[in-house]
Amino acid sequence: MAYKRQFYPGATTPAVNRRRYMDPKVNLKKLRDVSMDDVVRIMGHRNPGEDYKTIHAPLDENPYETLCPIRALVKPIEGAKSGDRIRYIQFTDSVYFAPISPYQRAWMYLSRYRGIDTGTLSGRQIIEVRERDLEVLAKEMIDNETFDPALTGIRGATVHGHACRLDENGLMFDGWQRYVWDDSKKEVVYVKDQVALPLDRKISVGKPASMSDLQKRTTIFRADGVDMRDDKEVSMYGLRIHKLRTLGGYQPFKVKGV
């Protein structure tokens, strides 16, 4: 019997959203259109229009390519083919019902993309990819429903803020103020790149979603939203892993029928 891939248990909204974000067959909704040049400006790795810097010769110019069995097996991504540098983008997700949280970002990235390296921390998620592939990925992640202008931050360093109270405009705290609230347009605009270098011009990332909308979109279980304990299947799944890991660590003979 062919194995049918499963993603996440549960029937509550956060559980369903986790499944949706992870499933590569689901096309995520596009909510905004930040131009590619602006995405490149916010990341700050190169100037728009500038050539990609390389760290090795293009693969098709490499005489040893055909001798490598791994290269025969794995189809390279575009950036690897051209020898691009590996660059990064890092997102910070607020605990106040951000559309996604760092751990699910890792699940989503690994489930949807090839040729990436991602790292999870409590409030942020870094993703490292060959530069030209990173730009495509970054644009998708800024444009789609996993990004909210107020509660998701693009922060390369000093990411502090994900667990802080929001400010008066409802924006996640950022000590470096990379983005500000434009009161006339009711939009969030980036004024600094992800490592706080001031941008030549402001880049709008659109209007923040309402709290009721975010509660429908989030993957975060919270006592004041959907409590994880209210989802029986999710609780049992967590308990099962906990039990298997604990018993497996010191009394593996007790792992029976778990």
Residue located via tokens 């998708």? 140
Residue 167 CB, nearest approach to another protein (Å)? 5
Q: Which is nearer to another protein, 79 or 161 (CB)?
A: 161
Rounded CA-CA distance 89/153 in Å is: 11
196, 199, 228, 247: which one binds another protein (CB under 8 A): 196
The site for another protein, by CB under 8 A, has a size of 20
CA dihedral 77→91→99→134, nearest 10 degrees, is -20
The answer to the question of residue 123 lying near another protein (CB under 8 A) is: no
d(CA 60, CA 147) in angstroms, rounded, equals: 37
59 binds another protein (CB under 8 A): no
CB of 14 to another protein, least distance (A): 23
Judged by CB, which is closer to another protein: 30, or 53?
A: 53
Question: 190 vs 23, 71, 138, 246, CA distance in Å?
Answer: 30, 40, 15, 46
Of 59, 195, 228, 247, the one binding another protein by CB under 8 A: 195
Interface positions, 142-181, toward another protein (CB under 8 A): 156-158, 160-161, 164-168, 170, 173, 175-177, 180
**Within 13 A of 67's CA, how many CA atoms are on the CB side?**
3
**Phi and psi dihedrals of 152, rounded to 5?**
-120, 130
> Taking contact as CB under 8 A, which single stretch among the options 1-9, 16-24, 100-108, 192-200 is the one that binds another protein?
192-200
Q: Does 197 participate in binding another protein (rule CB under 8 A)?
A: yes
Contact 43, 127 (CB under 8 A): no
Cα distance between residue 220 and residue 226, in whole Å: 8
Chain positions contacting another protein, by CB under 8 A: 156-158, 160-161, 164-168, 170, 173, 175-177, 180, 195-198
